[in-house]
Amino acid sequence: MLQLGWKAGTEQYPPGELLDYVIAAEEAGFDSVDASDHFHPWSEQGQACFVWSWLGAAAAKTSRLVLGTGVTCPILRYHPAVIAQAAATVAALAPERFYLGVGTGEALNEYSATGAWPSYRVRQAQMIEAIELIRALWSGEKVTHRGEYYQTRGAKLYTRPPRPIPIYISSLVPDSARIAGRHGDGLITVSGEEAEVYREMLRKFDDGAREAGKNPATMSRMIEIGVAYTDDEEQAIACRKAYWAGSAIPAMYTERIYTPAMSEANGKAVGAETIKQSVYISADPDEHVKMAQRYIELGFDHLIFHSGGPDQRAFIESYGRDVLPRLRSKTRNVRPAERRSGSGAERKRAPRPQQPAAGARARPRARHATGRKHAH
């Protein structure tokens, strides 16, 4: 079932204001809220609250919205055991309406807080091991983990969610999508690329899922789409440049660029045309529906709409009133590419994780033992 969500930009708004917006998003008819997990914002004038505290408040203030991180880096600034506990707590407060989005991080958040910034390949291996450890802890058993990167000794979560939490893995390029399919329950990416890039990304995601013995047709494909619901193109571009320009610089995800001032300096290279390629700007609701339908036809089933302001409440209310109902009406009987939509009943919960089939090729990298003395 198609899910339509709103992006909670912790890098732009203070937590109390953002909490008001999440309540408004539920009232406006959004299905989900995807919240950034940042230590530093992209801009010196931005914000960066501790998202796990905010998610607890959001869980208490909402009753229907699916909540999730977009995304958490569970490898440097956090030990995976801490993320396992944090996610389990939020899922206990919001049963069956929480997912954990993970990725390999940015130096903006990780190097600044820890002084460590390994190569991408090392961070990817760390993420895979972190996912394994997180899932082991969610089992409720005592876990002694002796991995290449992480250690635990008799660690056990005593507050756990009623059901396993789906893990979605960030993929900004097709090559990393296979990892998302192999080790995750879903994929998260962002808009702004050509259609063929997404087709290749989803093909590799499907391949990775099958290699792990999973059915890719039942796994979520999420995309964050930059939008501005306005006819004031100049103001929409100015808001993006003020708070989010650094996020458009590829080097921010690979190099040791670790302060908001450094992000801003790099973001000066981002011009209006670059922003218009990644942010859909229009005051016509039907044009927004057509734009969103293109992503659905590519195979995405969870769309997160990210507005950079200036009036976030007005965006939430008007988009919920004008765009979401039109989009749902247009897509009610349309299946994403090569996907099955299920029963057609409206889903109010995060999709359940899949377990690899017996004999699947995916194997853990590290060894850990649970209280049942299973070795992996």
List residues with catalytic annotation. Answer: 38, 106
Tokens representing residue 68 in the block: 């999730």
Q: How far apart are CA 106 and CA 111, in angstroms?
A: 8
Number of neighbouring beta carbons within 10 Å of residue 231: 11
**Collapsed DSSP state (helix, strand, coil) of residue 367:** strand
C-alpha distance from residue 285 to each of 63, 110, 323, 327 (Å): 27, 39, 5, 9
**Collapsed DSSP state (helix, strand, coil) of residue 35:** strand
Phi, psi of 90 (to 5 degrees): -60, -40
DSSP tag of 41: -
C-alpha distance from residue 282 to each of 3, 180, 300, 331 (Å): 22, 32, 22, 20
Q: Where are the alpha helices (DSSP H) in the chain?
A: 15-28, 51-61, 80-93, 110-114, 120-138, 174-183, 195-211, 233-244, 260-267, 272-278, 285-298, 312-322, 324-331
